[in-house]
């Protein structure tokens, strides 16, 4: 038993060290290391974007990447990070039920229509967030793990600091409008990379395009999944204050990037710009192991 525990600790240490080096590389990058771009930034005043080579942490493109923006439903990437961590620590299991309060049930759309007094199992809750971006489920998770959504948001912010997301403040678990809830494209890139590095065994949830619940097929908002080769997640987001946001992970032939686009004027314009960034910068990313 002691040997098993020691081996598990060593594996965990290697994973943490690997993530540390990627984040150090990302933090060390400056605008001078960014490639000359043939991709035209969006004209929206809310626009911000970054493209990172996840094999070495190099920033391939950035525009307004450290300017404060509203995360909208990209917030749910951190809500899921906290839930995955609770699962790995044995504090909650995939079949456990998450209770739904009256507060959670009243969250505005997107939602799956939970009612006060109901519950939802953890696995379905993960799909509801990653696929449908359900605000009612996000609030229920926050209350269940944090005791209240406010306390959970403080936990999310503390976790963000520990990951190196120095400009991010969370005020709720969903990304619904709140003047105090801010982030940057740079910080969202750190979070997107951290999710894949820390939770490779849970990461597959971000690649789902639909799921079944209460006899219905619920489809997602991420139009790049299944359409752009190599895209395997992560998350869309929209509120009026943020515009249309998208975090994307994509890999082909040993090359992998994470890209964040914030402030699109429409989902179509955001998606088209993301695809343009992918097609230009992915071939310029490093090969794994190179």
Residues with Cβ within 8 Å of residue 261, at least 6 apart in sequence = 42, 47, 48, 49, 185, 245, 246, 248, 270, 273, 274, 277
- Is residue 235 part of the annotated active site? The answer reads no
- Is residue 133 part of the annotated active site? The answer reads yes
- Is residue 73 part of the annotated active site? The answer reads yes
Residues with Cβ within 8 Å of residue 27, at least 6 apart in sequence = 164
Report mean pLDDT in 10-residue bins for the chain, 290 residues: 44 46 47 59 92 96 97 98 98 96 96 95 96 96 97 98 97 97 98 97 94 89 93 94 96 96 96 96 89
207 is written with which tokens? 């690649």
Catalytic residue among 73, 101, 174, 194: 73
Give the start-to-end residue ranges of the domains of the chain: 2-284
pLDDT in tens, 79-93: 999 999 999 999 999
Please tell me whether residue 69 adopts helix, strand or coil conformation.
strand
What is the phi/psi pair of residue 210, to 5°?
A: -160, 165
Residues with Cβ within 8 Å of residue 153, at least 6 apart in sequence = 142, 146, 170, 171, 172, 173
Catalytic residue among 101, 110, 130, 133: 133
CA distances from 225 to 183, 202, 209, 222, 248 (A): 25, 17, 7, 6, 9
pLDDT at 36: 55
The structure's pTM equals: 0.87
**Exposure class string for 153-167: b at 16+ Cβ within 10 A, else e:** bebbbebbeebbbee
First to last CA, the chain: 38
CATH architecture type of domain 2-284: 3-Layer(aba) Sandwich (3.40)
């Amino acid at each position: 038993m002691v040997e098993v525990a020691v081996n598990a600790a060593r594996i965990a240490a290697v994973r943490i060290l690997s993530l540390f080096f990627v984040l150090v590389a990302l933090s060390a990058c400056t605008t001078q290391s960014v490639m000359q771009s043939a991709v035209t930034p969006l004209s929206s005043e809310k626009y911000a974007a970054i493209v990172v080579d996840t094999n070495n942490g190099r920033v391939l493109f950035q525009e307004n990447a450290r300017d404060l923006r509203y995360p909208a439903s990209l917030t749910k990437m951190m809500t899921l990070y906290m839930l995955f961590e609770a699962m790995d620590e044995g504090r909650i299991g995939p079949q456990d039920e998450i209770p739904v309060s009256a507060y959670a049930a009243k969250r505005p759309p997107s939602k799956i229509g939970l009612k006060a007094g109901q519950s939802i199992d953890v696995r379905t809750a993960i799909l509801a967030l990653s696929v449908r971006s359900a605000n009612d489920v996000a609030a229920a998770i926050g209350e269940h793990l944090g005791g209240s959504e406010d306390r959970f948001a403080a936990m999310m912010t503390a976790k963000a600091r520990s990951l190196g997301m120095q400009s991010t403040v969370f005020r709720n678990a969903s990304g619904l409008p709140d003047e105090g809830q801010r982030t940057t494209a740079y910080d969202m890139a750190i979070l997107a990379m951290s999710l894949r590095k820390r939770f490779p065994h849970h990461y597959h949830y971000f690649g789902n395009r639909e799921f079944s619940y209460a006899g219905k097929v619920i489809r997602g908002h991420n139009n790049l999944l299944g359409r752009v080769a190599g895209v395997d997640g992560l998350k869309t987001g929209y509120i009026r204050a943020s515009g249309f946001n998208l975090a994307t992970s994509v890999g082909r032939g040993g090359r992998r990037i994470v890209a964040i686009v914030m402030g699109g004027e429409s989902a179509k314009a955001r998606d088209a710009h993301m695809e343009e960034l992918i097609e230009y910068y992915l071939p310029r990313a490093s090969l794994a192991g190179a």
